[in-house]
Amino acid sequence: MRPATARAAPPGRVRIIAGSLRGSRLAVPDLPGLRPTPDRVRETLFNWLQPLLPGARCLDLYAGSGALGIEALSRGAQSVCMVEREPVLAAALRANLDRLKQHAGTVVQAAALDYLARAPQPFDVVFLDPPYAADAWSAAARALQPWLAPQARVYVEHPAALPVPRLPAHWQALRSARAGAVNYALYRVDRQG
């Protein structure tokens, strides 16, 4: 068995791994700093989430390529809201959803923390994978609190070279793994009043 690597697919070559859209390719612009979650990491993550996805309301807070949000739709999520600040990426997300006829996916062009300053709605699954240079994990985790449904799951991805992001104490790590230079974990969050 070869050692695990976490090399992201080049732009334009991101594919959906399983579900109704299995094998579909996402058109992804070539932008600096964009690093779609690698196939191997997505496969592990969605194996962890599979029992929870059918009917789940999901939030892809730093959507980027849309690989996480569209994979969730492919595997039975009721809806996915994808938040993306970059206009070119937001337009590509909308185009991919239209081309794949995924009407349960919506795109909000906004900075993540600006989006979280709005009136909250509950989400069952949240993908928290900000640009590494932004160092936004802790601030986003705090701002997410009123948006989380009871027993919500939050996926957190960060570079292995950095310390684990500071997350709220009541977030319980359920699973974690490392693939190459990427650490990732799934948390259960008991909503705090």
Residues 59-69 have pLDDT tens digits of 999 999 999 99
Mean pLDDT computed over every residue of the chain: 88
Q: Residue 40's closest CA among 82, 69, 8, 11? A: 8
In a domain, 10, yes or no: no
Is 15 within a domain?
Answer: no
Query: What pLDDT digit, counting tens, does each position of 107-152 carry?
Result: 999 999 999 999 999 999 999 998 877 778 999 999 999 999 999 9
Domains of the chain: total: 1
pTM score of the predicted model:
0.89
Look at residue 6 and tell me if it is in a domain.
no
Range(s) of the domain holding residue 103: 34-189
pLDDT per position in the chain (193 positions), as tens? 333 334 444 445 788 899 999 988 887 887 776 777 878 889 999 999 999 999 999 999 999 999 999 999 999 999 999 999 999 999 999 999 999 999 999 999 999 999 999 999 999 999 999 887 777 899 999 999 999 999 999 999 998 888 888 899 999 999 999 998 889 999 999 865 4
Whether 75 is in a domain gets the answer yes
> What's 52's domain CATH number?
3.40.50.150
CA atoms of 192 and 108, how far apart (whole Å): 26
Task: Provide the sign of the torsion angle of the four alpha carbons 63, 64, 65, 68, taken in this order.
Answer: negative
